[in-house]
Structure 1
Amino acid sequence: MGLDDDVRTTQVRDVELAYLSCGAGPLVLCVHGFPDTAYSFRPVMRRLAQAGYRAVAPFLRGYAPSGLAADGDYRLTTIADDLLALIDALGAERAVLVGHDWGAAAAYVAAARAPARVPAIVAAAVPHLRRFLLRPTLRQLVRSRYMGYFQIPRIPEARIVRDDFAWLRALIRRWSPRWGFTDADLAPVIATLSRPAYCSAALAYYRALPRTLADRQLWKLLLAPLPVPAKLICGVNDGCIGAEMFEDQAQYFGAGYELARIEGAGHFMHCEQPLRFADEVIGFLDKQRSATA
C-alpha cells in the first residue's frame, strides 16, 4: 500500500510514460497539469490507497522522467489517448480520472471518447471545456493571456528559467496567492523545466491548441453533454481560472455533476490542501462505487 518515490515506466503508444503507484483496488489515475509533475499528487495518492483504491500518477509526455514525443505531438486529444492506453498498460479495464489543469482537460476528452473506460471523472481547476472555451468572462480572458504569450517561440523558454525561475515562481504565486510553497515543493517541476527540450515540450501543449481546436471531431465531443458523472473542484482564490467560471454549467453534464469550492485555496488546491482535496475525491469515488455495486 505504501508509496515510495520509485518511478515505474511503461510503453504507451509512441512514448514511454513514467508513473508513481500506490495501493490496491479500483484504478484511479491522478493526472497533473502545468507547471507541475506527478510528484505533487503523492499526499492524495496515499489517502486514496488508504481508502481502498489503486492510485497511479503518470508523468505526462514531455515531462521528465517520461519521454518526449518523437513527432512533437502534444495535442489535448493525444494526451487523452495516452491516458486511455495507460489504463490498458496497467492491466485494467477502466479507471476514474482525477485530473488537474491539463490533466482535467484531458480527462474531459478521454471520458467523452470512451465512457465505458472512464466511468467518472474529477476535474480540478478546469470547468467543462465548452464553458471555458465558448463562454469565458472578460476577467478570464485577461487571466488566460499567458496562453497567447506561450505561442511565441523561444522567448518564453528563456524567461521561465531566468533568475532561478523567478517568473515561474511569480506565476504560481499569482495563481495560488495563499500557498506558501517551498523550494522543495517546486523542485520536481524546476528539474524538468531546466532541461531545454522538456521546457519546450511543456509549452508545446499550449502551442498545439490552435491545431487541437481545429479538430471537428473534438468539437463534436465537447459540444455534447459529458456522458459520465463528474465532480469539479475549484479553489475560491484561483488566479488562473476564476471561481466564477464554474457557475452555470449544469447543462454540459449529461450524467450529473457535483461542485466543491475549497475556501482559501487557489489553482494548486491539491498541493495547498491535499487532505481536503483527497476527501472530496474519495467521497465522490465511494458514491460511484456504491452506485455500481
Structure 2
Amino acid sequence: MSEITTIQANGLEFGCLTAGPATGPLALLLHGFPDTPHSWRHLSSALAERGYRVAAPYMRGYAPTSPPADGAYQTGALAADANALHEALGGDDSAVLIGHDWGAAAVYGALAAEPGRWRRAVTMALPPINAMLESFFSYEQLKRSFYIFLFQTPLAEMALDEGFVAGLWRDWSPGHDEDLSPVFAALGSPENKAAAIGYYRAMLDPSRHLPRYAAAQEAAGAVGTVPLLYLHGADDGCLGVDVIGMDGGLMKHLPSGSRAEVIADAGHFLQVEQPAKVNGAVLDWL
C-alpha cells in the first residue's frame, strides 16, 4: 500500500492507505479495534492485482485521522463515514465495502443506509448485533468481553496502554505474532485512546448518540439488501464462534443471497493470520 494520503469526508480528515489503479472500481476497507489499515496489507495487494482501487482509511480518531470535534463514535457515525468516503473517493455502484470488527459494524450501517452505493460487501469477526444477542451473555463470552465493560469506567484511559493492546492481540489471535507498532502509533496520544474507548462508550450509552446520525444509527440495526460474505476465525478469542450462530441462526440476520464461512486455524485477526484463505474467499465472492 502507498504512503498515507489525506481524504476529507464527513467533516473529518482521514489518513488513508491506497493501492491499485486509479480507474478501478473502489474497494473501501475498514479496520477495527485495536488495529489499523496495515492489517489489510495482504488483501489490499490481492484486490489491487485484480484491478480494484483500494482505499483503507484510519477510522475516526485513530491517528492520523482526526478525532471528531463533536465526539461522535456511535455506529451511525461510522456508517456515515463509510458512505462519505465513497463520495469523496469518487465511488460508483461498482464499489465494494469490506470491514473487520468495528469496521464490520460500519459496513452494516452503511449498506442499510445507502445500499445504492455498494455492489457487494464482506464483513469479518463481528456479525450483526441481533445474530449474537441470545448467546453473547454466556459466562464464557462475558469473560472474553471484559474490556467492553472496563471501557465504561474511568479506568479505561489508564488501562489502554501498549501492554494491554498486545495482550488483546495475544488472546484474540492465539499463536499469531504481529508487529503492533502501527497500532501503538495510531493510539499514541490521549486523544486517540479516548477515541478508541469512545466507540465502546457510545455502544452502551445512547445519551452519547447525536441526532444528526439518528437515521444512520437506526439503519445500522437493519438487515439491508446488499449481499455480503461473512467470515469468522475458528479460534477467535474475542468473539467465540459458538456465539455467532454459524449453525443457521446467523443467516436470517444477513441479506438474501449472503454467505458465511468459518476460517480454520485463524483467530480474531483472520486477515493477517490466514491471508491466502481470506483473500481467496473474498476474491471469489467479489
TM-score normalised per structure 2? 0.90
**Aligned runs of 1:185-264 on 2, under 5 Å?**
185-212=179-206, 221=219, 224-244=222-242, 245-247=244-246, 248-264=249-265
Counterpart CA distance in 2 for 1:213 and 1:242 is 29
Query: Where does residue 30 of structure 2 map in the other structure?
Result: 31
Distance 1:28 1:213 in 2: 33
Task: Check the 8 A contact 1:120/1:228 in 2, yes or no.
Answer: yes
User: Aligned with 1:238: secondary structure?
Assistant: coil
2:75–2:217: 8 Å Cα contact kept in structure 1? no
User: Are the equivalent residues in 2 in contact too, given 1:213–1:219 (CA < 8 A)?
Assistant: no
Q: CA deviation at 1:217?
A: 5.1
Residue 194 of structure 1 deviates from its aligned partner by: 2.1
Which ranges in structure 2 are unaligned for 5 or more consecutive residues? none
Over the matched positions of the two proteins, sequence identity in percent amounts to: 39
- For the Cα contact (< 8 Å) 1:129–1:222, is it kept in 2? no
Partner Cα separation in structure 2 for residue 78 and residue 219 of structure 1: 7
1:118 aligns with 2:115: no
The change in CA–CA distance for 1:219 and 1:59 in structure 2 (over 3 A counts) is: closer
Distance in 2, Cα, partners of 1:224 & 1:32:
21
- Superposed CA deviations along residues 184-213 of structure 1, whole A, max 9, x for unmatched, are x20011112221110111111101113459
Return the alpha-carbon distance in structure 1 between the equivalents of residues 235 and 207 of structure 2: 28
Question: Does the Cα contact within 8 Å between 1:111 and 1:120 map onto a contact in 2?
Answer: no
* 3-state secondary structure, aligned to 1:266: coil
Aligned to 2:7: 10
State the distance in 2 between where 1:268 and 1:46 align.
Answer: 17
SS in 1 for 2:271: helix
- Conserved in 2, the CA contact under 8 Å of 1:265 and 1:272? yes
User: Any conservation in 2 of the 1:108–1:121 contact (CA below 8 Å)?
Assistant: no
Residue 80 to residue 190, structure 1, CA distance change in 2 (3 Å): same
* Offset, 1:214: 9.1
One-letter code of the match for 2:272?
C
Q: Tell me which residue corresponds to 1:289.
A: none
Query: How far 1:31 sits from its partner (Å)?
Result: 0.6
CA distance in 1, matches of 2:255, 2:190: 42
Alignment correspondent of 2:41: 42
Q: How is 1:95-134 mapped onto 2 (pairs within 5 angstroms)?
A: 95-133=95-133
Distance 2:83 2:50 in 1: 24
1:21 is aligned to: 18
Deviation at 1:176, TM superposition (A): 0.6
Which string of whole-angstrom CA distances, capped at 9 and with x for unpartnered residues, describes residues 49-91 of structure 1? 1112111101111001111111111111001101100001001
8 Å Cα contact 2:110-2:220 kept in structure 1:
no
Q: Which structure 1 residue ranges, 5 or more long, are not aligned?
A: 286-293
> How many pairs does the alignment contain?
275
Report the 3-state secondary structure (helix = DSSP H, G, I; strand = E; otherwise coil) of the residue aligned with 2:260: strand
